[in-house]
Every structure is written in structure tokens, then in C-alpha cells.
Structure 1
Amino acid sequence: MTGGPAAGHDDGAEAVRSGRLTRAPYRREPYVRAGIGPETVDGKAIAWTRAEVQVKWVDRDGAMRTAWVPASAVRRISRDESAWRDPYDDYAFYYPDGAADAAE
């Protein structure tokens, strides 16, 4: 599996030029579960259009990966549901009632 764009995808450049790309604020990206090839990975949605989501995750070897995935293969999950949690998260954003202390 590569960390590059999906086959036939232009890595989001056209979406950026057209203004159709959405990004969440850094450290506040939504957690997602995505089907990437034969695997299902838990990661974060770092950018998206109506048709595709750029997912960031850590692979089995511990390397950070990103890939553009069809939106239909991506489902939003909570941080607590994710098998991988970004250590740089804005905890107050994910746990506004202070539940981060219990989650750690």
C-alpha cells in the first residue's frame, strides 16, 4: 500500500484551486474509519471534498501515511473508538467537559 493519492487522483490540487476542498483546524481533525484497499484503518480526515477524503493514519510499521479515499469508504468515528489516537490532539476540543483525564 502506498501513501500516495488514489489511482487517477490529482492529489487534491484541482480541489484546492476550485475552492472545493475543506480542512479541519490542525489538532481538531475528525477521526474516521476508512477502507483502503483490503484494509480498514482508523485515522483522521485531514481534508475532504464531496467525493473524496484525505485520510492520515499510522501503518503497521509505525509510518505515517496519507491517501485520498472515496468518501463512500470513510465513516466518522469518535476519538475513543479509534485504534490510533494522535498524541498532538487538542484534548479540550475532543473532550469539552474534561473527560480527557478519564480517557488517558
Structure 2
Amino acid sequence: MFLTRARPISLSADELGADPAAAQQPQRDPIDVDAWVRFPETPVRVCGRAVAWTDRAVCVEFTMKDRATHRAWVWASAVDRRSAR
């Protein structure tokens, strides 16, 4: 029996809407965000950081409860900037 951890489903290079190499350049000041990220089983709302973006998509870095850190490209409309508290 094998146990595998679900990995988020990221947008394709065509969906990013920009040169994928340019989009991969991390931003100097990541932005705290809440985002919907798709997994094979279900979408999950995560607290994370926007680490790169294009005009259509955002690369969100987040840590799950099991302490595994992931990055996934999601549609920009699936991301909300977290307000300062």
C-alpha cells in the first residue's frame, strides 16, 4: 500500500498569460493573501503569500496542516489580499 499526499493543481503555462520564464521571477515583497487552490479531490481556501504573478494569474505559496509547503498558480480572481489587522 502506498500513501501519497495530494498536490495542488496549478494552471498551465498557456493559462498564465505571459512568458512563463518571466512569470517565474519571484517578487521581492510577497503579499499575504487568501486564495482558492484546487486539489484533485476539492478546492481549498488557503492562507498564503503571493510570490509571483501575471496579469491573469498568481503564484501562491502556502503551508498545509501537515507542514508541507506548496506553490500553485491560480486565477487572479481566486485570490484576495489579506487586510492588515
Does TM-score exceed 0.5, indicating one fold?
yes
Task: Quote the residue 1:97 is aligned against.
Answer: none
* Structure 1 portions without partners, runs of 5+: 81-104
Task: Quote the residue 1:15 is aligned against.
Answer: 19
Per residue, is there more helix in 1 or in 2?
1
Task: Quote the residue 1:72 is aligned against.
Answer: 77
Aligned 1:27-46 pairs, distance under 5 A: 28-37=29-38, 38-46=43-51
Partner SS state of residue 27, structure 2: coil
Taking only aligned residues, the RMSD between alpha carbons, in angstroms, comes to 2.5
Per residue, is there more strand in 1 or in 2?
2
Structure 1 length-normalised TM: 0.58
Larger Rg: 1
Identity of aligned residues (%): 32
* Structure 2 portions without partners, runs of 5+: 1-5
Higher relative contact order structure (alpha carbons within 8 Å, sequence separation ≥ 6): 2
Report the number of matched residues.
73
